[in-house]
Amino acid sequence: MAPSTITTALTHPLARWTRGAAQVTAMDREASFSSDLPKDADFVPVFSARTFQYGDVVLVRERRDKTRVRLIGPLTPEGAVGNSRGQMNHSALVGKSPRDKVDFPNGQPGYILHEPSLEEYTLLAGRHCTPVYPKDASAIVSLLGIHPGDRVLDAGTGNGALALHLALYARPEEGSVGPCIHTVERREDHHRLAKKFVAGYRRGLLSPHIAFHQGMLSEILPTLPVPFDAAVLDLPDAHLQLQYLAPMVKPDGHVLCYVPHMSQVMECVHAGQESGMGMDRVVEVGWREWEVGRTRVRTQGEGDSGAGVWMCRPEHRPAGHTGFLVLLHNRRHAPKGSGDEEERMKR
């Protein structure tokens, strides 16, 4: 194995390495072994994965049909989970680790447990409006070029799915405090549910980075700290909001409108131009899953040959259209000598 591979494995934050009874942290190991490969057979990596607790959301995969996955939780002392084979209390999951198996009290095979990724969490959770799908959310983060320390507007909040993706990247820089994402939602019920949804992801890991505001975007905007480094509009009338938003975005800062119809794309480009915003790009994100696995070949008249062959092909189900990503930039120049202008020149 190449030394670089070992070093990567050793730097995983959950890694603990053990040789006999002695345990040392990954960083200790990296210091003493980065140029020195482990040779003995009993040198085994042990990962101190965390265990599930009440309040956690768990991804469960059915042991009988591993394609069936769902989210359970947040785990509560009164909660239960089950299917046609049986039922178990949430308490049966508490204290277990990712990849542990739990069976029903009647002996029937139950579930394999996992910690959901952000993609799984946003795709599998219940929703009250159409979220920004992970394929689009990751492209949005990339197109906007979001960094730690950036201040980003997200309107409307909806489920909070995009806010979570934005918060992964626009977290405060080291030493600074306070939220970086300002998310605005006109409906009280959506606002409330989104807060809960964000808090349910990895025990509220990203909640401190998100400020939730309830009201119409045009009314909330003047109350927010500005300027924004970037903004996303996922609203039915995104084009009507650009006039309010344009003065709040840094010179050369980006605004991205997420809209399902081409007629809305044209409206956003036109309204952007009228508000001093130029169009950079219009993008539709493609995402094609493949089926890769072994299967049996059946030959006519001869039955099942029994031979396993690799099947590698795009999935039957096509990924349908979700939305267009319309990337605009603020054409405004900052006044000479201002901090904004210096920042613009650095980019």
Ligand X SMILES: C[S@@+](CC[C@H](N)C(=O)[O-])C[C@H]1O[C@@H](n2cnc3c(N)ncnc32)[C@H](O)[C@@H]1O
Residues of the shown chain interacting with ligand X in the complex, contacts defined by CB under 6 A: 129-132, 155-156, 158-162, 184-187, 190, 216-217, 234-236
Q: Which is nearer to ligand X, 111 or 159 (CB)?
A: 159
Q: Which is nearer to ligand X, 66 or 321 (CB)?
A: 321
**Shortest reach from residue 65's CB to ligand X, in Å:** 29
Q: Which is nearer to ligand X, 59 or 235 (CB)?
A: 235
Ordered alpha helix ranges (H), the chain: 3-10, 26-33, 118-124, 134-144, 161-169, 188-199, 217-220, 238-245, 262-274, 339-346
- CA dist 274 and 78 (Å) reads 56
**Shortest reach from residue 10's CB to ligand X, in Å:** 37
Q: Which is nearer to ligand X, 60 or 275 (CB)?
A: 275
Q: Positive or negative, the Cα torsion across 201, 203, 208, 214? A: positive
**Shortest reach from residue 134's CB to ligand X, in Å:** 10
**Shortest reach from residue 154's CB to ligand X, in Å:** 7
Q: Which is nearer to ligand X, 6 or 257 (CB)?
A: 257
- CA dist 105 and 16 (Å) reads 34
C-beta of residue 217 within 8 angstroms of C-beta of residue 237: no
Q: Phi/psi at 137 (nearest 5 deg)?
A: -60, -40
**Shortest reach from residue 163's CB to ligand X, in Å:** 7
In terms of Cα–Cα distance, which of 137, 150, 100, 128 is closest to 254? 150
The type of residue at 139 is A
